[in-house]
Structure 1
């Protein structure tokens, strides 16, 4: 199964903290198999309690906490957009949400950079 946007972000935050998957699961008191399923996209909607435990251990910044909450409540988002936003700290959460939820005509989705540029242009009016 392809990684989910939530899984991409969780893995990034876990690796940033230097934790193995098992260490994160142990510190958060969550089954390691469940954390694995979240990271691989097999599961995409953790409960608020599970998410709170992960946030407590991972200690992400505010933007990443907001992204985690959004992705947990809105499964099926584009992992490529999430990867782009993680690597581009200038992208705000308020820019990420419209980029993640925008609907596209046809079957071609713009690349994440183009999508963020369009959202910024729209938000500026």
Structure 2
């Protein structure tokens, strides 16, 4: 199965129309249609990045299907290299981000950071050995 068929299958498995994928990825519907019909060459890594975001599919998977990356299983050293640990707080603060095709404002990113802080607050306290008091309801 070639890249074009696999792209079409991925889109259909996600339940997206071409228009929905276009809206989610920022790649034009006409271009996606031409890709799926084999009327265009393999897209650039930049376009594949957009499509991976729109399909919510790992970028490396599309890069492999497109022939940019070898499909051999990586060694442990390679796997460790290809998956760097990213500080999410710094990532949120230092990058222009979008979610489902909507650009996030600085305020949006601040709220995401706050939500993540609350989400992981208990775990952080537990890992640091801080006991949490049990709350009881008294009349």
TM-score, normalised to structure 1, is: 0.49
Structure whose CA Rg is larger: 2
Larger helix proportion, structure 1 or 2?
A: 1
- Greater relative contact order (CA < 8 Å, ≥ 6 in sequence): 1
